[in-house]
A = this chain, B = another copy of it.
């Protein structure tokens, strides 16, 4: 029952995270599982796409020279000597005075160097015509897509570190990549402490409350590219908490018991068996947050109050998880600059995490904002971060809001 000797600035705690996160090794994922993952290798194509020159139009492959001077008043005849559909090939060679019917995407027949679109050809019933008349001219290369114009063999198509988009999956498929090395998802152990807690989703009774942080943290970890490993509630017993903190994982979150009170075991355990690098942060809520290293793994001590837990997770733990997953440290929240409807008061010397509503396109600070009122984060549309050197903002000030 004593206060923190000194609270660390938020920026310093963020700096600690940035300098202590280590990337994870890679694993192989199949085409259907790649979207949203982070490439752990450069992808170099060993093929050209397309692998052949192709027609970009439905029309006729010709020698461009044969169309010189063609117009509606000077219709030049060509003999149709074949058809090429996509995926097939023309076995002959297109000679002078000849044309081969081509569909979009079909390989250019040898001898032809341009495609006449259907609009520049008569008659209109082209399917059965054995002779066409050219009414417009084309230059060599016209409407021809070159081999390798989409992807050139030997080039890096997608670089390591890239978060894979749906269209990237399409490109990978098109060059024959059926699987790729991606950064592993960090396995995040969620250790929920607090003897007063009932298991997640059970009806609260008497003087007990139901765990909110476990399922919330699991959802946050998944959102940030991690794999939550949730052992449920751990009894408020130092040896049980230590064992849970040491169980197999890439990163550990401990919820509850992070402060300096009688039942706050986690900070002492971390200091004794590992390194308690930071304990107490100059922010509100979440000031009793801590972080350190145990058995070479990052451990985050998150306050039990659920808003504090969410806030400390987003500022520190989530950042570490996203960095390990290769997703970058930025928040996955959409940001907007909006005006304040009322003043937003803060205290110099600490960062404030203020939940706000958007009302008529303006920011309305929430009246109820205690660290224990998790529903304030469900009623809020987002939050404003007031830096530690600020006393807050007057009405009408334009501030950055992060949308939940």
Contacts and interface: CB of A to CB of B under 8 A. Distances in A.
Contacts of A166: 216-217, 219-220, 223, 310
A328 to B, nearest CB: 14
A145 B215 contact: no
Contacts of A200: 31, 173, 178
Interface string A142-186: 000100011100000110000001111111111111110000000
Contact of A212 (B170, B179, B218): B170
Contacts of A151: 375
A206 B118 contact: no
A214 interface: yes
A34 B219 CA distance: 8
A103 interface: yes
A171 B210 CA distance: 9
Contact of A165 (B36, B107, B119, B378): B378
A201 B218 contact: no
Nearest to A145: B372
Contacts of A107: 207
Given A169-B216, A215-B32, A377-B167, A177 B201 contact: yes
Contacts of A6: none
Copies in the complex: 2
Contacts of A304: 105
A85 interface: yes
A211 interface: yes
B50 A103 contact: no
A145 B219 contact: no
Interface stretch (A189-197, A271-279, A290-298, A345-353): A189-197
Nearest to A303: B104
Contacts of A58: 1, 259, 261
A150 B373 CA distance: 5
Contact of A176 (B103, B106, B145, B210): B210
Interface string A204-242: 111111111111111110110000000000000000000
A88 B56 CA distance: 76
A20 interface: no
A212 B173 contact: yes
A389 to B, nearest CB: 25
A263 interface: yes
Given A158-B378, A372-B56, A210 B174 contact: yes
B103 A210 contact: no
Interface in A1-49: 1-3, 31-32, 34-36, 47, 49
A361 interface: no
A126 interface: yes
Contacts of A214: 173
A220 to B, nearest CB: 5
Contacts of A167: 216, 306, 310, 374, 377-378, 404
A370 to B, nearest CB: 7
A268 to B, nearest CB: 15
Contact of A51 (B209, B215, B218, B334): B209
Contacts of A86: 194-196, 207, 209
Given A51-B209, A215-B169, A372-B150, A35 B223 contact: yes
A218 B157 contact: no
Interface in A65-97: 85-89
A165 B381 CA distance: 11
Contacts of A194: 86-87
A158 B127 CA distance: 61
Nearest to A236: B85
Contacts of A149: 368, 370, 373
